[in-house]
């Protein structure tokens, strides 16, 4: 088979067919800062830094995407929330913007293009698109309306809202849906190819499947129907096997898989319906030797790669700052050596 571009490789995979080799995503959202000699805060302060960092990361490791997101709390920052930066990890959200459940009645979605932190992300995506064209996909990020309240009001208060205040819950979902749709579509217009719909609260790791079907699923179905491009639902390390049939019905195209689940089981459940993205253990990756890296990558390819519909990635959607360049190079080299279709070695050795 002739060599494909990254875009061709990923699109073929999303269509449940085998490309020339397994595509792989290295979500090195922060590592560009180290490459440019900047702190994480400095790196995310300018679109030019992030665009340049992502281009350099792909040139260095040969992976199949550019990550067009900055950090998840940017979506809370847009509503007037605080972002806490650190020197060795991703930015996190600060104090909740919803201090009382009654504050929900006064919420108004921020204007996407008039909000500096969001406008900077869109600028970075436009710059990436200018540089990369159609060579590789650019991945945008939108936190689901069902999961964003964890950052807006805190986990405990949000769970209580779900159980005890259905009217306020519905109001919060309505406001968040408007924001999510506008934010996702603005990224697609700026140059993003796909939207990663981050929905960790939907995972059975967080809420029971029946609760997701009652509360989270209708939100996802309504929201995804209004996003004008392909999406992938990611549970940020949370499990998904118990709700895969529901996820298929949301209309999404792909699903992010936790390292807590058997990749082969998830691939079988998704076969012909959803592309599978995962599921290297990003936490353990910080300590991997070259041999452990090769073994983990080959195992994931063997479990998920047959028949196409599989993108190798980490299980969380963001590789920790502490993961060393040697490990990332080893992942890349192993995919290029062992990920070519047809996967004949899997049939004999796997």
Match 């999404």 to its residue by tokens.
252
CATH of domain 6-349: 3.20.20.210
Strands lying side by side in the sheet with 231-234: 66-67, 138-143, 194-198, 231-234, 254-256, 275-280, 310-314
> Per-residue DSSP letters for 29-80?
TTHHHHHHT--HHHHTT-HHHHHHHHHHHHHHH--S-EE----TTHHHHTTT
What pLDDT, on the 0 to 100 scale, is given for residue 268? 97
Give me 289's structure tokens: 């030797």
What pLDDT, on the 0 to 100 scale, is given for residue 2? 75
- Residues forming a β-bridge with 234: 198
What pLDDT, on the 0 to 100 scale, is given for residue 101? 87
- Residues forming a β-bridge with 256: 277
**Looking at the chain, how many residues does it have?**
350
| Strand ranges (E), the chain | 66-67, 83-84, 92-93, 138-143, 194-198, 231-234, 254-256, 275-280, 310-314
Instruction: Give per-residue burial for 266-288: e unless 16+ CB within 10 Å, then b.
Output: bbebbeeebbbbbbbbbeebeeb
What pLDDT, on the 0 to 100 scale, is given for residue 336? 97
Q: What distance in Å separates the CA atoms of residue 344 and residue 325, rounded to the nearest whole number?
A: 29
Q: 3-class DSSP state for residue 162?
A: helix
Give me 246's structure tokens: 């529901």
What pLDDT, on the 0 to 100 scale, is given for residue 1? 65
334 contacts 65 by C-beta, under 8 angstroms:
no
285 contacts 31 by C-beta, under 8 angstroms:
no
Q: What is Dmax (Cα atoms) for the chain?
A: 62
User: Which of 247, 250, 248 shows the shortest CA–CA distance to 235?
Assistant: 247
Supply angle C-alpha 333, 337, 338, rounded to 5: 115
Residues 6+ apart with CB under 8 A from 261: 239, 240, 241, 279
Q: What distance in Å separates the CA atoms of residue 82 and residue 101, rounded to the nearest whole number?
A: 19
Per-residue pLDDT of the chain (350 residues; tens, 9 = 90+): 679 999 999 999 999 999 999 999 999 999 999 999 999 999 999 999 999 999 999 999 999 999 999 999 999 999 999 999 999 999 999 999 999 988 999 999 999 999 999 999 999 999 999 999 999 999 999 999 999 999 999 999 999 999 999 999 999 999 999 999 999 999 999 999 999 999 999 999 999 999 999 999 999 999 999 999 999 999 999 999 999 999 999 999 999 999 999 999 999 999 999 999 999 999 999 999 999 999 999 999 999 999 999 999 999 999 999 999 999 999 999 999 999 999 999 965 44
Q: 3-class DSSP state for residue 348?
A: helix
What pLDDT, on the 0 to 100 scale, is given for residue 348? 55
Residues 6+ apart with CB under 8 A from 193: 7, 137, 138, 139, 140, 229, 230
Tens-digit pLDDT profile for residues 112-155: 999 999 999 999 999 999 999 999 999 999 999 999 999 999 99
Q: How distant is the alpha carbon of residue 143 from its chain centre?
A: 9
Tens-digit pLDDT profile for residues 109-121: 999 999 999 999 9
What pLDDT, on the 0 to 100 scale, is given for residue 66? 98
The CA distances from residue 128 to 138, 271, 330, in Å, are 8, 32, 25
User: Which of 310, 174, 316, 304 shows the shortest CA–CA distance to 239?
Assistant: 316
Q: Considering the entire predicted model, what is its pTM?
A: 0.96
The CA distances from residue 140 to 69, 96, 186, 191, in Å, are 6, 24, 10, 9
């Amino acid at each position: 088979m002739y060599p494909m571009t990254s875009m061709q490789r990923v699109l073929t995979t999303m269509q449940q067919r085998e490309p020339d080799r397994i595509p792989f995503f290295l979500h090195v959202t922060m590592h560009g800062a180290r490459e440019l000699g900047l702190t994480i805060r400095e790196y995310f302060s300018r679109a030019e830094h992030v665009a340049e960092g992502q281009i350099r990361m792909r040139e260095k490791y040969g992976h199949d995407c550019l990550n067009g997101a900055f950090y998840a709390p940017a979506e809370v920052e847009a509503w007037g929330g605080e972002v806490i930066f650190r020197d060795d990890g991703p930015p996190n959200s600060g104090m909740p913007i919803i201090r009382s459940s009654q504050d929900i009645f006064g919420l108004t979605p921020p204007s996407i293009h008039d909000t500096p932190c969001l406008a900077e992300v869109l600028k970075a995506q436009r710059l990436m698109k200018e540089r990369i064209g159609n060579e590789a996909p650019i991945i945008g990020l939108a936190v689901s309306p069902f999961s964003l309240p964890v950052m807006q009001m805190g986990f405990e208060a949000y769970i209580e809202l779900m159980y005890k205040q259905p009217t306020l819950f519905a109001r919060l979902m309505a406001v968040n849906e408007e924001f999510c749709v506008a934010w996702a579509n603005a990224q697609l217009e700026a140059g993003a190819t796909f939207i990663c719909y981050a929905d960790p609260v939907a995972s059975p790791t967080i809420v029971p499947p029946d609760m997701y079907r009652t509360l989270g699923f209708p939100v996802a179905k309504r929201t995804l129907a209004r996003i004008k491009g392909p999406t992938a639902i990611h549970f940020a390390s949370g499990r998904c096997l118990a709700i895969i049939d529901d996820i298929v019905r949301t209309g999404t195209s792909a699903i992010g898989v936790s390292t807590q689940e058997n990749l082969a089981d998830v691939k079988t459940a998704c076969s012909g319906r959803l592309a599978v993205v995962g599921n290297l253990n990003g936490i353990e990756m910080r300590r991997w030797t070259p041999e452990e890296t090769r073994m983990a990558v080959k195992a994931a390819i063997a479990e998920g790669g047959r028949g196409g519909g599989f993108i190798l990635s980490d299980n969380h959607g963001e590789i920790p700052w502490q993961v060393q360049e040697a490990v990332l190079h080893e992942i890349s080299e192993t995919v290029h050596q062992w990920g070519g279709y047809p996967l004949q070695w899997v049939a004999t050795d796997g």
